Amino acid sequence: MTLFDIFTHQLVNGIVLGSFYALVALGYTMVFGVVKLLNFAHGDLYMVGGFAGFLALSFLAPFLGAGWLGVAISMLFAMLAVGFLGVVIERVAYAPMLSAPRLSILITALAVSLVLQNALLALTKGQYQPFGASFGFGGVNLGTLFISYNQMVLVGTAGLLMLGLELFVSRTQYGRAMRAISVDKDMCRLMGINVNAVIAVTFFLGSALAAAAGTMAGAYYGSLWYFMGFLIGLKAFTAAVIGGIGSIPGAMLGGLILGLLESFGTQLPGVGSGWKDVFSFSVLILVLVFKPTGLLGKPEQERM
């Protein structure tokens, strides 16, 4: 295999992996931008989304099949279910803590993460669950590069979801309210904006995107595990920080950059796949040292 073949293969792998990171990172950056909360339970919503999609597909497969249509409808169901779960978590666990010290709400987020993990651990007894999707093995050959239809549909779906979110935030009334609240929450209340409703919408959208990523990951990799959200949650947080946490384009960019760095990093001498996580978090440390606000982030100014 030539150097060009390695480059093209790793480029495709990096874009696929970066799509997962970007979708989950968007939830981190949206919640942080609006309520200044690092929602460390967000990775577990990705995991719950995968299991919700699996449950929906189990019911729909006899009628719609386990192919593209069945998985697409299952993903929509998972997005709705986990979106509402995110709103419930925000109302029950986070809303009463918004005026509390930052450390208190951070501990609450970690507690929610443990509750979700252990609930799925109890339900699955810690076993891997086969997702059951059936896509076939078709694809397109471009010289020595083979790109499967699965990869193309996954990246295309992720791109459409990210584009839809960007249009929602930039073009709709709720999107403008989100941006206003991220600047000055108290002033928005004085202007009559329903801040609690906007925060609920933010949690719904972020959780739904995580669920979409979880369902697509289950369909793509073929299995689910109760602990699958922990590492991707850390990676998505890393992607959000690299892009500039609080910036939606930054989360997209950071996810793709991290996916490409991991993919190409495994080809470096002395790195390999066993060291890819060390490589990823080393990149995070370098970004924090040399550009603490991230690539597209802006420094916050304290308001008197």
Q: Is residue 138 in some structural domain?
A: no
Report yes or no on 296 lying in a domain: no
Domain that holds residue 54: 3-126+147-290
Spatial separation of the C-alpha atoms in residues 150 and 163, rounded to whole Å: 20
Q: What are residue 224's phi and psi, to 5 degrees? A: -130, 155
Q: State residue 300's pLDDT score.
A: 61
CA distances 293 to 42, 235, 248, 250, 297, Å, are: 21, 17, 14, 10, 5
**What is the rounded CA–CA span in Å between residue 11 and residue 43?**
25
Mean pLDDT, contiguous 10-residue spans, the chain (304 residues): 81 92 93 87 95 94 86 95 96 88 88 95 93 82 85 93 93 92 89 92 95 94 93 90 88 92 77 71 84 79 50
Residue 261 CA, chain-centre distance (Å), reads 17
CB atoms within 10 A of CB 253: 21
Note the pLDDT of residue 283.
Answer: 81
What are the b/e assignments for 70-106, b being 16+ CB within 10 Å?
bbbbbbbbbbebbbebbbebbeebbeebeeeeeeebe
300 domain-assigned: no
Per the structure, the count of domains in the chain is 1
* Residue 82 located in a structural domain: yes
Count Cβ atoms within 10 A of the Cβ of residue 40 and give its class: 0-12 exposed, 13-18 middle, 19 or more buried.
buried
Specify if 104 maps to a domain.
Answer: yes
- The CATH number of whichever domain residue 214 belongs to comes to 1.10.3470
Does 301 fall in a domain? no
Measured CA distances, 233 to 23, 229, 302 (Å): 11, 6, 29
Question: Percentage of the chain surpassing pLDDT 70?
Answer: 95
Q: φ and ψ at 13, to 5 degrees?
A: -60, -40
Please say whether the beta carbons of 22 and 252 come within 8 A: yes
Residue 120: count of CB within 10 angstroms of its CB: 22
Residue 304 is predicted with a pLDDT of: 46
Average pLDDT, the chain: 88
Beta strands in the chain (DSSP E): 129-130, 139-142, 145-148, 223-224
Residue 142 lies in a domain: no
Q: Is residue 153 in a domain?
A: yes
Q: What sign for the dihedral angle of Cα 214, 220, 226, 228?
A: negative
Beta-carbon contacts of residue 230 (< 8 Å; ≥ 6 apart): 43, 44, 117
pTM of the model: 0.92
